[in-house]
Amino acid sequence: MKNLKTLFIACSLLLLTACSMGNKDIKITANQEPGVIFSAYKSYDWLGAAGILNDPNNTWQSPGIDISGDIKYLIDRELRKRDLFKTTGKPDLAVSFFIGVDMDNQELKLDEETKIELKKTTPKAGLVVVLTEVESGKVVWLSVATGDVQEQRTAELVRQRLDFTVTEMFKKLPK
């Protein structure tokens, strides 16, 4: 259990680590089930969270913050802004999130001097947030964020990028 938690925290932290371009590298999409009236939902509960880390060269170093806890806090905050409240009874929605990090991601990058595309390792991370209607079991909303991972990162910058990402994801949740 401790290893799973450590892996999850490591994956979570890598999601949106420091980037010299600020938040410009973060791409967000969202999809919803057609015809769903989101204002009809009033409550939610947590279904779960999971993470996957691909780090064959052991390049990951943790800045020592609870990223999964931060993500959960931010999602709770955004749901409350939309008049959805956590319940211990039967909720309308189940909330889950998933994190994936690939420290060995390969991309073609244009060499500015030679103008030739070269294969380069560019670590990437992604966050998926899913809202599932409890009664029907249908996924009613799903948002995906992807971003670059760089070596230089601080806990404060990671938290800022996570805040930006979760806020922007939930801007795509219909009212």
Bridge partners (DSSP) listed for residue 18: none
Task: Please report the pLDDT score of residue 1 as a whole number.
Answer: 44
Q: Predicted confidence band at 118 (pLDDT cuts at 50, 70, 90)?
A: confident
Pairing of strands 139-148, 124-133: antiparallel
Q: Which domain holds residue 32?
A: 2-171
Residue 13 has pLDDT above 70, yes or no: no
Distance CA 37, CA 125 (A): 31
Instruction: Name the residue with tokens 């806020």.
Output: 167
Into how many domains does the chain fold?
Answer: 1
pLDDT confidence of residue 10:
43
The alpha helices in the chain, defined as continuous H runs, are 2-15, 67-81, 155-171
Q: What is the DSSP letter of 65?
A: -
pLDDT band for position 21 (cuts 50, 70, 90): very low
Instruction: Give the phi and the psi of residue 169 in degrees, each rounded to 5.
Output: -60, -45
**Residue 162, domain CATH:** 3.30.160
Residue pair 143/32 in contact (Cβ under 8 Å)? The answer is: no
Place of tokens 């691909």: 54
Per-residue pLDDT tens over the stretch 54-87 = 778 887 666 677 888 999 999 999 999 999 999 9
* Neighbour count for residue 120 (Cβ, 10 Å): 12
